[in-house]
């Protein structure tokens, strides 16, 4: 009977439609890449906001859209808890709900403020875009599954080189808002504006892609993928099997630099001398970059080490952007009491953060900006005072499972190449390792879940992009324009009518 009353009052269907909208938005992310469905989901989300009578109801609908989008996009979050299911599986429902529900709060706040301040659809787009920017920064940030990523392998993705991924996401929201307004008002003019915006996005992308890439560098790299499943990676009886496998894949085949993934050498740096010497001998006359742990005093670091031809550490980079609850634990003593410790640190409290981004001079192959795993999801971590010649991601995506997690991690790496105009070399423990050019296209890859190695020329770099020069300036300008537009269209009479609607809804 209660369900019947809810249906009659029109409460249940809007919430269900909001959830469906979020699920459709998620379908645009890798590996499905169903971007037309994602666009439909975004239009449905805007329509859901438009039909909300109160700011509170708008917030609930925004949260529901976000929860559906993040829940489906981040299903890979269950995989770290399944490495040792007897110990950790009980935490899966809590981790999924609190992570996805927490991220959805950013969208809820955006929907609430746009309705509360009666700024119309321009205000919704502005607050929604601002919410995505905040999601990438608050509490160190987690900008995974940005709606702008649905454009991967489509021409509009190239807009990221001009305005960045946050502004691309906001432009995508703006297109959805135009379509929603055209539907609500049956306006051919607004539909035409949406069409012009889409044509412009494709036009810029096609124009950029029509320009030939610079010639490849004369040097080449060899990427090694040992394929050590996370459940077995630190097993004392198997760890040297994976080391020997990586070693057997390392003869350079004409490459100038051989790259191993994150933590591919199981011993810490202070004990790694004989192994680094062995690696140096096997890759000669090339050099090698390997991932391992480094201990200094009472602090541990997740490090990338460039090994010279004598097996000595020549350059060291310590990961600085760590994964909360994965590589370090806030309030460790308190969390230990309920059995929570950092996954990647085995039974410890995790790593310490390095001093920040820095370039590694690899010799003949130029200067690389190393990004260890999680760091490649943050556009801001690629802005350095000196421009690198190429990007290097060393990662262990075995934590992410075998479906959406590794695919989405690769998609974000490809966006970093587009944004910077730099090639990306990606060495992943279980895959997907790849050589990516400055347009974000994959030159060659090693499939997920296989062991192997590939030697490829280092792609050339494009000139420094406008996004790398000016950062989020375009986004801030767009948000300002939208806010001003929202204030312009929000007339006093509109605010009074909205207030009356909220009063009637309350009564």
Q: Which residues pair with 313 in a beta bridge?
A: 307
Q: Exactly one of 373, 419, 472, 498 is catalytic; which is it?
A: 373
Q: Quick check: is 115 catalytic?
A: no
Q: Which of 409, 269, 252, 288 is nearest to 360 (CA)?
A: 288
Q: Quick check: is 347 catalytic?
A: no
Contact (Cβ atoms closer than 8 angstroms) between residue 250 and residue 453: yes
Q: Which of 170, 35, 19, 114 is nearest to 478 (CA)?
A: 170
Helix (H, G, I), strand (E, B) or coil at 78: helix
Go through 250-282 and write b for each residue having 16 or more CB atoms within 10 A of its CB, e for each that does not: bbbeebbbbbbbbbbbbeebeebeebbeebbeb
Whether residue 432 is preceded by a cis peptide bond, meaning omega within 30 degrees of 0, is yes
DSSP 258-321: EE--TT-S-S-GGG-HHHHHHHHHHHTTSEEEEEEEEEETTEEEEEEEEE-TTS-EEEEEE--S
Q: Quick check: is 505 catalytic?
A: no
Q: Exactly one of 262, 315, 419, 498 is catalytic; which is it?
A: 262
| Other Cβ atoms within 10 Å of 196 Cβ, number | 12
Look up residue 189 and give its two tokens: 């003019």
State the Cα–Cα distance between residues 116 and 121, nearest whole angstrom.
Answer: 12
Q: Exactly one of 233, 315, 319, 327 is catalytic; which is it?
A: 319
The DSSP code for 186 is T
The 3-state DSSP composition of the chain as helix, strand, coil percent (nearest 5) reads 55, 15, 30
Look up residue 214 and give its two tokens: 């610079």
Q: Using CA atoms in the order 133, 135, 141, 143, what is the torsion angle rounded to 10 degrees?
A: -80
Looking from the CA of 36 toward its CB, the CA atoms found within 13 Å total: 0
Q: Using CA atoms in the order 333, 335, 339, 341, what is the torsion angle rounded to 10 degrees?
A: -80
Contact (Cβ atoms closer than 8 angstroms) between residue 459 and residue 151: no
Whether residue 457 is preceded by a cis peptide bond, meaning omega within 30 degrees of 0, is no
Place of tokens 């730099």: 422
Look up residue 272 and give its two tokens: 């790694």
Q: Which residues are marked as active site?
A: 262, 319, 373
């Amino acid at each position: 009977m209660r369900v019947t009353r809810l249906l009659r009052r029109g409460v249940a269907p809007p919430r269900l439609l909001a959830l469906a909208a979020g699920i459709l938005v998620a379908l645009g992310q890798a590996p499905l890449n169903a971007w037309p469905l994602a666009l439909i989901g975004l239009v449905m989300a805007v329509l859901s906001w438009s039909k909300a009578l109160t700011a509170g109801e708008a917030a609930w609908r925004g949260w529901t859209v976000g929860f559906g989008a993040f829940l489906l996009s981040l299903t890979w979050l269950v995989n770290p808890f399944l490495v040792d299911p007897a110990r950790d599986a009980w935490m899966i429902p809590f981790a999924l709900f609190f992570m996805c529900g927490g991220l959805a709060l950013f969208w809820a706040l955006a929907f609430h403020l746009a309705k509360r301040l009666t700024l119309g659809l321009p205000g919704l787009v502005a607050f929604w875009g601002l919410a995505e920017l905040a999601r990438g920064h608050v509490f160190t940030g987690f900008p995974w599954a940005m709606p702008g990523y649905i454009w991967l392998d489509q021409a509009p993705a190239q807009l990221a080189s001009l305005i960045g991924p946050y502004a691309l996401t906001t432009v995508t929201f703006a297109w959805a808002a135009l379509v929603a307004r055209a539907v609500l008002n049956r306006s051919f003019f607004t539909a035409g504006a949406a069409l012009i915006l889409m044509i412009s996005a494709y036009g810029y992308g096609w124009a950029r892609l029509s320009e030939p890439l610079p010639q490849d560098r004369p040097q080449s790299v060899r990427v090694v993928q040992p394929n050590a499943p996370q459940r077995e990676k630190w097993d004392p009886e198997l760890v040297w099997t994976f080391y020997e496998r990586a070693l057997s894949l390392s003869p350079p085949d004409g490459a100038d630099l051989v790259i191993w993934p994150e933590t591919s050498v199981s011993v810490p740096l202070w004990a790694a001398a004989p192994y680094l010497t062995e690696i140096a001998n096997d890759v000669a006359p090339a050099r090698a970059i390997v991932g391992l742990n480094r201990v200094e005093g009472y602090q541990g670091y997740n490090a990338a080490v460039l090994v010279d031809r004598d097996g000595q550490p020549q350059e060291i980079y310590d990961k600085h952007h760590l994964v909360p609850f994965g590589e370090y634990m806030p309030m460790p003593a308190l969390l230990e009491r309920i059995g929570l410790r950092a996954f990647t640190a085995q039974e410890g409290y995790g790593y310490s953060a390095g001093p920040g981004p820095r370039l590694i001079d690899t010799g003949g192959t130029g200067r690389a900006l190393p990004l260890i795993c999680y760091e490649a999801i943050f556009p801001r971590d690629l802005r350095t005072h000196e421009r690198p010649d190429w990007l290097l991601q060393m990662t262990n995506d075995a934590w992410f499972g075998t479906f959406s997690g590794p695919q989405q991690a690769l998609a974000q790496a490809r966006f970093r190449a587009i944004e910077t105009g730099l090639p990306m070399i990606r060495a992943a423990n279980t895959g997907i390792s790849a050589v990516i050019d400055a347009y974000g296209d994959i030159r060659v890859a090693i499939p997920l879940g296989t062991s192997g190695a590939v030697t490829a020329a280092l792609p050339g770099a494009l000139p420094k992009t406008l996004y790398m020069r000016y950062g989020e300036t375009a986004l801030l300008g767009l948000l300002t324009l939208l806010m001003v537009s929202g204030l312009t269209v929000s007339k006093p009479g509109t605010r009074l009518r909205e207030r009356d609607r909220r009063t009637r809804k309350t009564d």
